[in-house]
Chains A and B, each alone.
Chain A
Amino acid sequence: MQALSDSFGLAFGLIVGLDPDLLEIVSLSLKVSLVAITFALILGLPLGAALAIGRFPGRFGLTVVINSFMGMPPVVVGLLVYLALSRSGPFGVLGLLYTPSAMVIAQVLLITPIVVSLTRQTIEELDSQYREYFLSLGIKRLPKVLTFLWEARFSLVTVCLAGFGRAISEVGAVMIVGGNIDHLTRVMTTAIALETSKGDLELAMALGVILMLIAFSVNLLIALIRPSNNHSITSKMFSR
Chain B
Amino acid sequence: MGKMFKLISGILVLFCGINVMSMADPVIVVQSTTSTANSGLYDSILPQFEQQTGIRVNVVAVGTGQAIKNAIRGDGDVLLVHAKSAEEKFVANGWGVGRFDLMYNDFIFVGPDNDPAGLSDATSAVDALIRISSERALFASRGDDSGTHKKERLLWASAGLDPTTSSGDWYRETGSGMGATLNVAVGMNAYAITDRATWISFGNKLGFKVVFDNDQELFNQYGIILVNPSRHPHVNAKDGQIFINWMLGKKGQTAIANYTLDGQQLFFPNVN
Q: Which residues on A are within 8 Å of B, measured CB to CB?
A: 31, 35, 85-102, 104-105, 179-182, 184, 194, 196-201
Contact = CB atoms under 8 A, between A and B. Distances in A.
Contact of B59 (A35, A94, A182, A199): A182
A194 B18 CA distance: 26
B178 A35 contact: no
Contact of B204 (A91, A180, A199): A199
B20 A94 contact: no
Classify the interface of chain A: helix, strand, loop or mixed.
loop
Nearest to A185: B58
B20 A197 contact: no
Interface stretch (B179-187, B211-219, B243-251): B179-187
Interface of B: 5, 8-9, 12-13, 15-16, 18-21, 29, 34, 38, 42-43, 58-61, 70, 73-75, 176-180, 182-183, 201-205, 232, 234
A88 B73 contact: yes
A97 B183 contact: no
Given A98-B29, A180-B61, 16 more contacts: A88-B75, A94-B12, A96-B15, A98-B60, A100-B19, A102-B15, A182-B42, A182-B43, A196-B183, A197-B177, A197-B178, A197-B179, A197-B183, A198-B202, A199-B179, A199-B183
B149 to A, nearest CB: 15
A98 B75 CA distance: 9
Contacts of A85: 12
Contacts of A201: 203-204
A199 B73 contact: no
29 contacts: A35-B18, A87-B234, A88-B73, A92-B74, A93-B234, A94-B9, A95-B234, A96-B12, A96-B19, A98-B29, A98-B75, A100-B18, A100-B19, A101-B18, A101-B19, A105-B15, A179-B29, A179-B58, A181-B58, A181-B59, A184-B21, A184-B58, A197-B176, A197-B183, A198-B202, A198-B203, A199-B182, A199-B183, A200-B204
Contact of B20 (A91, A100, A105): A100
B8 A91 contact: yes
A87 B228 CA distance: 13
Ranked nearest first, the 9 interchain pairs of A and B with the lowest CB-CB distance are A197-B179, A87-B74, A199-B204, A199-B203, A179-B60, A101-B15, A199-B202, A200-B203, A88-B73
B117 to A, nearest CB: 23
Candidate in A96, A99, A197 with the most chain B CB atoms within 10 angstroms: A197
B220 to A, nearest CB: 19
